[in-house]
Amino acid sequence: MPSRTTRTITLTGPDAAAFANAQFGSAVLSLGVGRWQWSGWLDPKGRVRALLQIARPDNERFVVVPRGGDAEMLASDLRRFVFRSKVKIAVSDVLHVSDGDAIGDGDIREEDDALYFGEGDTSTRINTMQGGDTWYARHIRKGYAWLPDEATDALLPPALSMERLVAVAFDKGCFPGQEIAARLHFLGGHKKHLHVVRSDDTLREGETLRVNGRDIGIVLMHAASQPSSISLVVLDDGIASAETLEIDDKHLHILSTFEA
């Protein structure tokens, strides 16, 4: 599998924490120095523009890692909301995501121009060097989505299991899309969820899954392996009630399902 890349967005300044907290779905103000958390940036209709990992290396510096999407476009749109806030927004060059050493879950480490996001018995590393890619299949199994272009601005938080990741918080005040996200949280009714599936055929990331010509889901991530491949997909609840699915010419076996 080719190396996965991203570009980080860095927020610096005395108002960086308040600015990030107002724009992103997670409780950024509660994030301690040396720690990271899941988050997301929603549009006014509650759709996920970007799924994020946010690290706080210093009190007034936050490093935001978009998991898919165009970081330069995201940063440009964020700048529109700075107004009088004392915060600067910068975008890095292209960086590689790879395997890192064991670091405490939720901890970060900066070392030799690399930023490590701890997951307990392992970590993911963000820097200019390519490295191992076993993290990708691990994140599929954990339900840590990486969004293809086809999935940006298309899915609501429950479809990406963002409450489970604490990537949205409903007790911290307003943020873009908060009304829709809160309504889904308190009233329910969303009919799409995240699943890990095994397939005998290769699935294309961003591929729309169809049954009898009807769109029933999308492939977010795919890791080819032997004897079978695994993928992270979003499926309509109605079709996902069976363990084995026949989708067009593909057979998918659901291995696990994640809560909203």
DSSP classification of residue 112: T
Q: How far is the C-alpha of 217 from the C-alpha of 236, rounded, in Å?
A: 6
Q: What is the pTM of this model?
A: 0.94
Grade residue 226 by pLDDT with cuts at 50, 70 and 90.
low
- Quick check: 1 pLDDT over 60? no
Instruction: Report pLDDT digits (tens) over 128-144.
Output: 999 999 999 999 999 99
200/147: higher pLDDT: 147
Instruction: Report pLDDT digits (tens) over 145-170.
Output: 999 999 999 999 999 999 999 999 99
Mean pLDDT calculated for residue range 212-233: 88
- Phi (first) and psi of residue 119, to 5 degrees: -125, 20
Continuous H helices in the chain: 16-23, 71-79, 134-142, 178-187
Q: What percent of the chain has pLDDT over 70?
A: 98
Q: How far is the C-alpha of 25 from the C-alpha of 169, rounded, in Å?
A: 6
Which domains does the chain show, CATH number per domain? 4-187 (3.30.1360.120), 192-257 (2.40.30.110)
* Contact present, 197 and 218 (Cβ < 8 Å): no
Q: How far is the C-alpha of 41 from the C-alpha of 20, rounded, in Å?
A: 10
DSSP classification of residue 180: H
